[in-house]
Amino acid sequence: MRVDAESAHETYPSILRGLAFELELESAFLRLTDIDTRTSILVAEWPPKIGITYPDQSTVAYRDGPDPILALAATMKDVTVVSTAGDYAEQLDGLAPEKVPLVVIPLVAGGVDVGVLGFAKTAGRIWTECELSSLRSVALLMTQLQARVDAENRSRFAATHDELTGMSNRRALLNHLSARLEEPGCGPVAVLFLDLDQLKSLNDFLGHSTGDEYIRDVAETVRRDLGSKDVIARLGGDEFVVVLAGPTDEFIANLAAEAILMAIDGIDMPLADLRRRARIGIMMAQPGRITAERALRCADQAALIAKIGGTDNIEHFTESVRAQSELRSDVEVHLRDAIEGDALVLHYQPEVDLDSGQITAVEALVRWQHPVRGLLPPSAFIPVAEATNLAPELGRWVVDRACRTLSEWQSTLPSLDISMRVNVSPAQLVERDFVGTVEAVLRRYGVEGPQLCLEITEVAVVNDVDRTRKTLFGLHQLGVRIAIDDFGTGYSALSQLKELEVDALKIDRSFVTDLGAGDANDLAIVESVVGLADAFGLDVIAEGVETTAAVDVLQALGCTRAQGYLISRPVPAAETLELLRAGTIEF
Ligand code: C2E
Ligand code: CA
Ligand code: CA
């Protein structure tokens, strides 16, 4: 008899039917036990009742509950004839109890009870020893069969479910999605790719069991938030995918994504100051037009772009997402080679004293001379570097090249007195021995500490105040200057500014560019930053000066240092040297 988990439920009734004819049975039943829930369910019976599908869900009974047969079966080791089966016999088609010698056989596999078989003989007949022993063999056979079915179910479950959360795994998800996408004519299928960020930190700081618990929390929260027909899967790590039931449109998918993010936001974080950064990428997949794998990849790409774009935490897959993720993979693969192979270049943007036009500093801005894509701006690869742990390496290259170039200019122009401003990624500030790296570069090129100014963003400061403070203190010991870049867009507390060794504030260009065009807000912000810098004894520099009107306003507010397209765009080293030779810029 070849039976597996699929066919077992069809096989049981025919076994019972065969026995019924063979042994002239009045009735027969098979109940199986779910070991996890300790419940018993009627899987097959003879004669079958009209209008019932087996397993009969209405018969679920607790194994330890009041049912007398189940209670009996639980204590039995062998075939037992219950000739006065009382209540139970009455249930068997209302036959008088004394006329129904009921045989009950426990099914026991490996010491665990897996079910019970029951047989009632046609009225008046008694059981022969031979019949009982053949029933014993049947029970043994069924026990083995059920053990096999259980094992098969378990391994099938393991093959299609995630061990940690019990949710579908990648394989089950792809099966489901493929089936959905094979129904042409049906509206689009929404695939939501959920990506969380905190798992690594949780595992690192609090251990893997806390990380696991958090993942389970997320899984349950998302499950609770969704409809019962929506499919949710965990792909591993902190990646989940939701396939919404039924055809949907972008609007509905977006609402579902918002609801999921909101629900996740409500989960208690084991690590209080860990920032929540969940994102969802949405792919609206057209049945008949796209494979499940491809749809999943599109949703994944959209989630990734949401992550590096950093503006919104829900992103729909579009052509632009596709292009951006292609660029990203390209960058990811080739950036290290670019750093090592000198394909990066620095352009320098002068900063001047607005009153005299004299150049007071230059800011090093990195570009990538890409063999195929041309000169790439930093926005195309810095976020990728930051997301792939290449930021420190890239940063080291920039500091090195900027200082080397400054020292070359100094040998050409001995009286040169400018600072070199270099942008620093948040990751560099918490890198091991960043201070040592900077010190080595200064020494290598004979550059004095105060001639180098590192620009850091407020985000970097807020992210890890303690380590940042240590690094800034070390840099201060070297005499290196620190400026807060893009000032006004972040949230650094004033008290922090005072505590940290900061020398200058650069007013973000979003407040500067339109100065003089009548925006009262911009004016108020710039005025207050200038006042703040004054109060703390910091230099203040305006970025993004594009008009003479802005220059006028800045001068009136007492901000005399500025950089911007009006003065000069960032230019290659050779051109910068010519500007430096002239010493001043007219604008
Ligand atoms: P940032 O530090 O705020 O640099 C100034 C950016 O504003 C530069 O863009 C510059 O070209 C642009 N800019 C200057 N004047 C004007 C103006 O008048 N109007 C307008 N609209 N823009 C102006 P760029 O070179 O594309 O750099 C963008 C950002 O990339 C930088 O912003 C900086 O955050 C980052 N970055 C550049 N180089 C590096 C680097 O070596 N390391 C790191 N970590 N980040 C860098
Ligand atoms: Ca900057
Ligand atoms: Ca800036």
Contact 277, 312 (CB under 8 A): no
Please state, in angstroms and rounded to a whole number, the distance separating the CA atoms of residues 28 and 462: 73
For residue range 219-245, list pLDDT tens digits in order.
999 998 888 889 999 998 889 999 999
Q: Interhelix angle for 391-412 vs 319-340, to 10°?
A: 60
User: Counting atoms of ligand 1 from 1, which one is nearest the CA of 365?
Assistant: 38
Q: Determine the distance separating the centroid of ligand 3 and the alpha carbon of 195, expressed in angstroms.
A: 29
For residue range 381-408, list pLDDT tens digits in order.
998 888 788 999 999 999 999 999 999 9
User: Counting atoms of ligand 1 from 1, which one is nearest the CA of 425?
Assistant: 44
Q: Please report the domains of the chain, with CATH numbers, ordered by start residue.
A: 8-160 (3.30.450.40), 170-317 (3.30.70.270), 335-582 (3.20.20.450)
Label residue 93 by pLDDT band (50, 70, 90).
Answer: very low
pTM, full prediction = 0.68
For residue range 502-518, list pLDDT tens digits in order.
899 999 999 999 998 98
**Residue 336 identity (one-letter amino acid):** R
- Which range (60-64, 213-217, 398-402) has the least confidence? 60-64
pLDDT at 495 over 80: no
User: Six-digit token pair at 481?
Assistant: 């200057």
Q: Residue 168 has what DSSP assignment?
A: B
Across the chain, mean pLDDT equals 86
Please state, in angstroms and rounded to a whole number, the distance separating the CA atoms of residues 128 and 105: 15
pLDDT (average), residues 35-40: 76
- Which range (250-254, 470-474, 486-490) has the least confidence? 486-490
Please state, in angstroms and rounded to a whole number, the distance separating the CA atoms of residues 505 and 122: 97
pLDDT (average), residues 259-268: 87
Ligand nearest to the CA of 508: 3
What pLDDT does residue 559 have?
A: 96
Pocket of ligand 1 (CB under 6 A): 349, 365-366, 377-379, 382, 398, 423-425, 455, 485-486, 509, 513, 543-546, 563-565, 570
Neighbours of ion ligand 2 (CB under 5 A): 423, 455, 485
Please state, in angstroms and rounded to a whole number, the distance separating the CA atoms of residues 308 and 330: 15
Label residue 273 by pLDDT band (50, 70, 90).
Answer: low
Q: Determine the distance separating the centroid of ligand 1 and the alpha carbon of 365, expressed in angstroms.
A: 6
Please state, in angstroms and rounded to a whole number, the distance separating the CA atoms of residues 150 and 136: 21
Burial of 287 (0-12, 13-18, 19+ CB in 10 A): middle
Consecutive H or E run containing 199: helix 199-206
User: Counting atoms of ligand 1 from 1, which one is nearest the CA of 347?
Assistant: 25
Label residue 85 by pLDDT band (50, 70, 90).
Answer: very low
User: Counting atoms of ligand 1 from 1, which one is nearest the CA of 566?
Assistant: 18
pLDDT at 205 over 80: no
Label residue 156 by pLDDT band (50, 70, 90).
Answer: confident
Q: Determine the distance separating the centroid of ligand 2 and the alpha carbon of 21, expressed in angstroms.
A: 90
Q: In sequence order, what DSSP letters do the residues of 398-420 get, joined into one string?
A: HHHHHHHHHHHHHHHSTT---EE
pLDDT at 134 over 90: no
pLDDT at 212 over 70: yes
Please state, in angstroms and rounded to a whole number, the distance separating the CA atoms of residues 554 and 545: 9
Ligand nearest to the CA of 454: 2
**Of 4 and 530, more confident:** 530
Ligand nearest to the CA of 515: 1
Q: 3-class DSSP state for residue 472?
A: helix
Contact 475, 435 (CB under 8 A): yes
User: Counting atoms of ligand 1 from 1, which one is nearest the CA of 422?
Assistant: 41
Q: Which of 335, 344, 352, 365 to mutate to test the pocket of ligand 1 (most atoms within 8 A of CB)?
A: 365
What pLDDT does residue 448 have?
A: 97
